[in-house]
Amino acid sequence: MREKTFGDYAKDGHLWITLSTGDYYPDILPVACELYKPVLVMFGQLLKSSHSSSDLLTAIGEITPQWMRIQLCRVFRKYVSPDTPVEMLKKKTAIPEIAKNFGKKFRCIAEVQQRFSERPMPDEALCALLWEYKDRGQKGYDLTERFFLMIREQLPEVTVIGPERAGKDILLGKFFKGYPKPDRPVDFIILKDKYPLAIGLARYDSDRGGAQEDDRTGQYRDCAREILKYTGKQELKTKVIFLNDGPGLLLGSMWRDYTYLERFWKGRVKVVTLRMVQERITMDWLLS
């Protein structure tokens, strides 16, 4: 009997994805306002004592703890510089460079002060926006944690390593001697007696489409090619697993593109959702 491919699940794809629960609006507002009111209060205090928008950013960079500083950076971005990436703002050492490169487009401090003063305290709209960031990444953490548990229960003879929730990715240059792209990050490696049976990436897609689809599948294609080329030269039978889940898989061409990846590297690459793991990630396949 022919083994099922990822494409064979497409017809009933909605039955094979995992849906994570979310929060309802406006139910989240009381808790969101309680959580983020201190952030807005501190932003207001820093805003009053700053003589320029660049000065405000510098003051935010001095704030500890990190959680508060990151929230303040997000508020700064909304009020002062929508074009500045939040990830860039998070780096304290990058603040002088940000002020130099983006400062000319910062909204002037007087207008920021006026706009801020016109909003209620706490500002429900802004608290709701900040709340959207709160669980960003949590669905991905849940995905890997559940995958690790499933593999350990299903295949007790193997070891699975990697960050189960938050944590640093595995860099293949630290795992494989002479790996061509030493900073290549992966989410997990399945081992048997220290032999790398499979290398994997895990992503939860709540929503995806357009250029994002091309980016994701293109990255996966490059990653698979790179890993399999290296392991082939080392005469390793290491497989590649792309663990993807969520309703985003049902959008656009995602399912079809993943099917192509599997077909291109038949037997060496598998794309799975959590509900497919038991059926598709078997010891026979890992050892083949």
Residue 24's region, left for phi above 0, alpha for psi from -120 to 50, else beta, is beta
Whether the predicted pLDDT of 30 surpasses 80: yes
The answer to whether residues 107 and 81 touch, using CB atoms and an 8 Å cutoff, is: yes
For the chain, give every residue range classified as CATH 3.40.91.
6-19+137-287
The single-letter DSSP state of residue 242 is: E
Whether the predicted pLDDT of 37 surpasses 90: yes
- Report pLDDT digits (tens) over 196-224: 999 999 888 776 544 455 566 788 889 99
Q: What would be the CATH architecture of the domain defined by 6-19+137-287? A: 3-Layer(aba) Sandwich (3.40)
Structure tokens at 201: 């990436």
The answer to whether the Cα torsion of 146, 149, 155, 161 is positive or negative is: positive
Mean local confidence (pLDDT), 226-247? 92
Query: What pLDDT, on a 0 to 100 scale, did the predictor assign at position 229?
Result: 93
Predicted confidence band at 140 (pLDDT cuts at 50, 70, 90)?
low
The answer to whether residues 199 and 227 touch, using CB atoms and an 8 Å cutoff, is: yes
Mean local confidence (pLDDT), 230-245? 93
pTM: 0.72
Query: What pLDDT, on a 0 to 100 scale, did the predictor assign at position 125?
Result: 94
Q: What share of the chain is helix, strand, coil (3-state, %, to 5)?
A: 55, 10, 30
Average pLDDT, the chain: 87
Query: What pLDDT, on a 0 to 100 scale, did the predictor assign at position 110?
Result: 94
Whether the predicted pLDDT of 21 surpasses 70: no
Please give the share of the chain, as a percent, with pLDDT higher than 70. Answer: 91
Please give the helix or strand (H or E) that residue 41 lies within, else none. helix 29-49
Mean local confidence (pLDDT), 102-128? 92
- Report pLDDT digits (tens) over 47-75: 999 999 988 988 998 888 888 998 999 99
Whether the predicted pLDDT of 43 surpasses 90: yes
Whether the predicted pLDDT of 88 surpasses 80: no
